[in-house]
Structure 1
């Protein structure tokens, strides 16, 4: 059977080959250390688990409204009011089956064939693929390493054409961990408002910020920017609920209504017991979120110091998320490799350390290292990495 053209445009995930090889080596009995984790290594807080179990015991096991339970929408509205001082109504909120599905639904709702979406590089791997699946064209602008991988308002302005529909903002960022300041967000917002560009603000890592950094949502800067922005968020990272698949969008009611109609024909509704767990996540607090954040901060500070002492490796210190995104092009060159991807593959084969090559994020000189794993494992992985580099000096 001939497959649809839309799937032929997709770029295979750069992490899949590494993940598959790491799994194969583990099955052969090798001690493989994986630094590719995109999820916290903490369990979901017990009070959230208890709320989900209780909901099932009480008979809440049926369909819910497509856009989410009214009580969950209220909890999300309360979260925005407390954290960002933004007022939303129920008609401005869509709950979906994870932030990834919410983003997918958004692009399906707003993009026509040939519409352009400006995407800063490095980017999260699914942004361009989801844009392409909706018939849109990703337009890349480079976030330079000397600016902590962030793009500027001038870069955005130069990339805008008559076909530009949206700009994707991810702060804190996956894969770089970089964050935009309030002033930077203001200048970006001015450009988007002037040219009527929708801002898609992915804030999934907002709770995981370090060294005194403060997350600012572009939507909280003015009422005009709130109307021009669709905020994407969820509980996967903040509450270690990746497998629960609850994300949400907040923004213009017309867009939210269109997304709701689409969702009703794809997932019917987000998983019911997961919604009840999320209500608890946003209406109670046992301190576990801060405990996890503090643990990540401690790991970051310890790992960063060690990483930056390795020959041929340089790294911008991140302010959020749980990734380091070092430039290893010099190390790969010192070891005689023509590409970072080949270097990463060789390290996995010889030292049994699985890194994620930056090529999949639009940054071929870098690798992504997750510190959402035990500090001892990260430390051992960096020891092996340094040993590989020293052993293969040309």
Structure 2
């Protein structure tokens, strides 16, 4: 097991080496350069998880309505717009199956700031936080800025993924590693369900086992559930609602996102839900980090939740995403390229180890010393006009080689169907390299 270093001037998550770029700059600049060199060829960006289409009309109407009212163009309370608090109170009381009160909700400037507020609300230098890898890359610097240390636990790469499709359940928690990672300094375990980049939804048995460890060791369970409305099985297990472990709810902090819920990642409206004696520290940290979250957008999200219920919006959205996945995965089935069948979210993790990339292909200096998935991503961008994300970026640097993920690419399907269909036609040309 590898332990992360406390934040310092030499921490790679804060200061890249001279000339070294972060993943998003590296991929987006490669995509830009490829477009300049081939202006006649459309480029299909399936990399970052941003939408190619607008939020639903009723959400846009809610923004316009909120901006037209003087009271919603001024500072919102640090705890959040009272109307949004009430909307979330109603939503989560229904979703969780038990009452949620006003003092159990903190509105934050996006889910990322919500998680940052949790870390700054509870962590001090020398504390430890357990994170499963692969992980969303923002977790690590957010934790290390507090002076706390990250301890990594594997979601074990399924060996059969090299030759066949797998499910989220095939990505198993390394339970021995998890139990061994807990020390008297451990304060928080972080999970992400539905999971980015895998698409895994933690099942009830996994959540209960993690929850029992939290209870036994007096830990907080921070559950990043920003894709909570995008699940594709009949139900969505979540730690705050486990019937066999109701005592866990007092130590769970659930993170949500309007950006993911309403195809509006630029709105930066998020929230944290949990027991009042935990939430008060989240609110205190949030108040110091940014004080107030954009007021008109908070009001718009409140109205959008009301309108979404009237329109059965989230159920219809899930159906639309099932269609998107059906459309997009067909080409990988044709090519015999395995993928992890997503149980939630809007990403698809595809194993490209069967592709025969020319061994003499020339890569720029910024890609030469990277793991193979970075080279795959570059080749796909320049030769096929398809942008994906190399998933070893979601591993600590020492875990990347030999992880299995270095043969994979993550694609985002949060695009309109025509866009996906055109991307599929471009991907189909990979047949000459299988």
Tell me how far 1:268 sits from its aligned partner.
Answer: 2.1
Count how many residue pairs are aligned between Structure 1 and Structure 2. Answer: 388
**Residues 349-364 of structure 1 correspond to what in structure 2 (within 5 A)?**
349-362=382-395, 363-364=405-406
| Gapped regions of structure 1 (runs ≥ 5) | none
**Residues 31-42 of structure 1 correspond to what in structure 2 (within 5 A)?**
31-42=42-53
- Structure 2 equivalent of residue 323 of structure 1: 347
**Residues 53-68 of structure 1 correspond to what in structure 2 (within 5 A)?**
53-60=64-71, 61-68=73-80
Q: Distance in 1 between matches of 2:284 and 2:10?
A: 22
More displaced stretch, 164-173 vs 331-340: 331-340
Cα 1:144/1:111, change in 2 over 3 Å: same
More displaced stretch, 377-386 vs 217-226: 377-386
More displaced stretch, 284-293 vs 240-249: 284-293
Q: For 1:325, what is the secondary structure of its paired residue?
A: strand
TM-score w.r.t. length of structure 1: 0.90
- Structure 2 equivalent of residue 47 of structure 1: 58
Asked if structure 1 preserves the Cα contact closer than 8 Å seen for 2:154 and 2:174, the reply is no
Tell me how far 1:227 sits from its aligned partner.
Answer: 0.8
- Structure 1 equivalent of residue 378 of structure 2: 345
Q: For 1:113, what is the secondary structure of its paired residue?
A: coil
- 1:319-351 Cα distance to aligned partner (Å, 9 max, x none): 111111122234367867871211221221111
- Structure 2 equivalent of residue 261 of structure 1: 284
Q: Distance in 1 between matches of 2:134 and 2:12?
A: 23
- Structure 2 equivalent of residue 126 of structure 1: 138
**Residues 245-260 of structure 1 correspond to what in structure 2 (within 5 A)?**
245-260=268-283
Q: Distance in 2 between matches of 1:76 and 1:62?
A: 21
| Gapped regions of structure 2 (runs ≥ 5) | 1-7, 159-168, 362-370, 396-404
Asked if structure 2 preserves the Cα contact closer than 8 Å seen for 1:93 and 1:248, the reply is yes
Q: For 2:407, what is the secondary structure of its paired residue?
A: coil
**Residues 129-148 of structure 1 correspond to what in structure 2 (within 5 A)?**
129-146=141-158, 147-148=169-170
Q: Distance in 2 between matches of 1:367 and 1:135?
A: 32
Tell me how far 1:256 sits from its aligned partner.
Answer: 2.0
Asked if structure 1 preserves the Cα contact closer than 8 Å seen for 2:53 and 2:416, the reply is no
Asked if structure 2 preserves the Cα contact closer than 8 Å seen for 1:153 and 1:188, the reply is no
Q: Distance in 1 between matches of 2:98 and 2:137?
A: 29
More displaced stretch, 297-306 vs 370-379: 370-379
Q: Distance in 1 between matches of 2:374 and 2:52?
A: 26
**Residues 79-228 of structure 1 correspond to what in structure 2 (within 5 A)?**
79-146=91-158, 147-151=169-173, 153-210=175-232, 212-221=233-242, 222-228=245-251
Tell me how far 1:83 sits from its aligned partner.
Answer: 1.3
Q: Distance in 2 between matches of 1:343 and 1:388?
A: 12
**Residues 275-294 of structure 1 correspond to what in structure 2 (within 5 A)?**
275-285=298-308, 286-294=311-319
Q: Distance in 2 between matches of 1:380 and 1:48?
A: 28
More displaced stretch, 265-274 vs 370-379: 370-379
- 1:194-236 Cα distance to aligned partner (Å, 9 max, x none): 11221010111111112x3411220112442111111101211
Q: Distance in 1 between matches of 2:100 and 2:174?
A: 29
TM-score w.r.t. length of structure 2: 0.82
- Structure 1 equivalent of residue 415 of structure 2: 373
More displaced stretch, 95-104 vs 132-141: 132-141
Asked if structure 1 preserves the Cα contact closer than 8 Å seen for 2:224 and 2:255, the reply is yes
Tell me how far 1:42 sits from its aligned partner.
Answer: 3.7
Asked if structure 2 preserves the Cα contact closer than 8 Å seen for 1:118 and 1:139, the reply is yes
Asked if structure 2 preserves the Cα contact closer than 8 Å seen for 1:6 and 1:132, the reply is no
Q: Distance in 2 between matches of 1:138 and 1:7?
A: 12
More displaced stretch, 347-356 vs 148-157: 148-157
Q: Distance in 2 between matches of 1:216 and 1:72?
A: 24
9, 18, 27: which one aligns with 1:18? 27
